[in-house]
Amino acid sequence: MTLVQAFKALGDPVRLRLFYLLASCDELCVCHLTEALELPQSTVSRHLGVLRHAGLVVARRDGKWMHYRLAGELAGQLAALVTQTEDVQLATDFGRLQAVLGDCTPV
């Protein structure tokens, strides 16, 4: 993964929102991400695929569910930057995620 690929992947608002949620929790199921972002599963999965292709996230299957988490040192460095950002949309998404999970605390 190159820095250019990472920034291109994060240049889309939906992917940035997904990355923020994944940076805020260890691992998340696609079902939780769709609820938090209030987007269809197909949209969330497509954007997660772009993040995966860029090397920012990895996936694991658990039965019929896919779980995602950050991958690699660059993703961790970018996560530290993104989670320090004060953004209304990101905070709203995180609030919805907390309502769904109840146990995810921000990094």
pLDDT digits (tens, 9 = 90+) for 41-53: 999 999 999 999 9
Mean pLDDT of 76-81: 90
pTM score over 0.75: yes
Q: What is the pLDDT of residue 1?
A: 64
Q: Where are the domains of the chain?
A: 3-96
Q: What is the pLDDT of residue 107?
A: 44
**Mean pLDDT, the chain, whole residue set:** 91
User: Is 51 buried (19+), middle (13-18) or exposed (0-12) by CB count in 10 A?
Assistant: buried
Backbone angles phi, psi at 24, to 5 degrees: -90, -15
Give the three-class secondary structure for 22: helix
Sign of CA dihedral 107, 87, 80, 73: positive
Lowest mean pLDDT among 17-21, 68-72, 98-102: 98-102
Domain 3-96 carries which CATH code? 1.10.10.10
